[in-house]
Amino acid sequence: MILYDPLWKTMKEKHITQYMLYTHYNIPRSLLDRLRKNKNIEVYTIDRLCRILDCRVEDILRYVPDEISDSN
């Protein structure tokens, strides 16, 4: 599972607010909602956020393995 928890920390460190993202950088509010809910987003969006925040991918998202259920 991909989590976007690091994004909020990075935004705080870079002094970029959600308001700034949708007013100055034209990031849709619906996309911010998807990020808050850890839903799928496009790689293009990750690229854009990295450019806006001048950061690495790891500063925006992290991978956490899903629990593997034993179906046997």
Tens-digit pLDDT profile for residues 8-67: 999 999 999 999 999 999 999 999 999 999 999 999 999 999 999 999 999 999 999 987
pTM for this one?
0.85
1 closest CA partner among 34, 39, 29: 39
Q: CA–CA distance from 52 to each of 2, 58, 65, 71, 72 (Å)?
A: 20, 14, 28, 43, 46
72: pLDDT confidence band, cut at 50, 70 and 90? very low
Alpha helices in 1-72 (DSSP H): 5-14, 18-24, 29-36, 43-53
| Fold exhibited by the domain 2-63 | 434 Repressor (Amino-terminal Domain) (1.10.260)
